[in-house]
Amino acid sequence: MSELTWSEIPTLRRPLLLVALEGVYDAAEVATSSVRWIRDRNNAETVAEIDPERFYNFTEARPFIRLGDDGKRVIDWPNATVDVVKTEDSRDLVVMTGVEPHLRWSTFADHVVEIARRSGCEMVVTVGSMVAMVPHSRTFPVKGSTENPELVKRLGLNSPTYEGPTSLAGVLNERLERSGLPVISLRVEVPHYVPSAPNPKAMRLLLRRLQLTTGVTVNYEELDSDVDEWEQRVTEAVDSDEDSHDYVQRLESQYDNEQESLTTGEDLAAELEAFLQNQEIVVATDEMVFEDSPSVDPPDDSAGIDDGAEVEAETKDEPIAEDPAPSDPVVDDQND
């Protein structure tokens, strides 16, 4: 029996694969909550699941037992599922959510590549969240990186330069790029002194950046009232303690001195669309060349791939403003 099981995949329009997994890059559960926000507000349909038996240590991610509607006990196992989301925009989404595996990362990454290929995805976007020295009263930076040189140029992102022990995110990015699938990583920062879920402000900023980058409407504005309530509660808690108040003021001063606008966010979706259109032309041209010239071997896609590992502690890059409005989120390009 295959570890990756499929049901029928509906016809999709130029889909993108979104990946968010509970684990080291899901601070305050912002990444997984953001992807589930998209999934749960659309008519999502589950099309694939990865059998958890050989990927998880169940003493670390324990199954959850509950009573079903019929009163019988049901066990929910930690796993990863794949849903398709039909949108009203020019492209649909394939969303993968679940728990980051503890074991067999290489095999798990191969399954992610198969999911992207079989569902016809043009590219992959991995989303995450991480604690950082950012004040709750300011816009949280969204870090972005990619291995693809053209996307680096078009979207103003950075290419990973980190070398050393890596995470599952690094393995996924390397495997996707080696397979010829362009991949972008987006991660939002959350205040280290407010690490618990929920964090609607970080969700809103991550969803907004995702919409600006991909052009897919995700209705992040629906979180506005939740953001206002969350920020007010945190401000009241901080102001009630003099040391906390002084500390946050220092963070705010440092943050304000470091921010610098480099490019606007409205250009990103158009640049991404132009990149993907160009990819289609290149692929079509290559297929014609190989068909007409059987003796010519295709290029080796596996050459020259660096590891897209965790990078936020390793490099410091200039931030990129999302749009001209001062209240809007800032995007700071960082490696994976």
Q: Indicate the domain borders of the chain.
A: 4-56+75-290+306-333
3 state SS of 298: coil
| Cβ contact 311:162 at 8 Å | yes
* pLDDT at res. 1: 53
Q: CA–CA separation, 93 vs 80, rounded Å?
A: 16
- In one-letter notation, the amino acid at residue 83 is D
SS3 state at 143: strand
CATH 3.40.50.10900 fits 4-56+75-290+306-333, yes or no: yes
- Reported pTM: 0.79
21: β partners: 98
Question: pLDDT 10s per residue in the chain (336 long)?
Answer: 579 999 999 999 999 999 999 999 999 999 999 999 999 998 899 999 999 999 999 999 999 999 999 999 999 999 999 999 999 998 999 999 999 999 999 999 999 999 999 999 999 999 999 999 999 999 999 988 998 888 888 888 888 888 899 999 999 999 999 999 999 999 999 999 999 999 999 999 999 999 999 999 999 999 999 999 999 999 999 999 999 999 999 999 999 988 654 344 556 778 888 878 777 655 444 444 434 433 334 344 433 333 443 433 333 333 333 444 434 443 444 444
Residue with structure tokens 């920062």? 189
**DSSP single-letter state for residue 273:** H
Torsion, Cα of 127, 129, 134, 135 (10° steps): 100
Query: What is the C-alpha R_g of the chain?
Result: 21
- Quote the CA–CA distance of 94 and 19 in Å, as a whole number: 9
Return the closest-CA partner of residue 52 out of 44, 42, 63, 43: 63
Q: In angstroms, what CA-CA distances link 99 with 78, 114, 199, 279, 287?
A: 6, 18, 19, 32, 38
**Calpha distance 134→128 (Å, rounded):** 16
Would you state the torsion angle of the CA atoms of residues 172, 176, 178, 183, taken in this order, to the nearest 10 degrees? -110
How far out from the chain centre does Cα 287 lie?
31
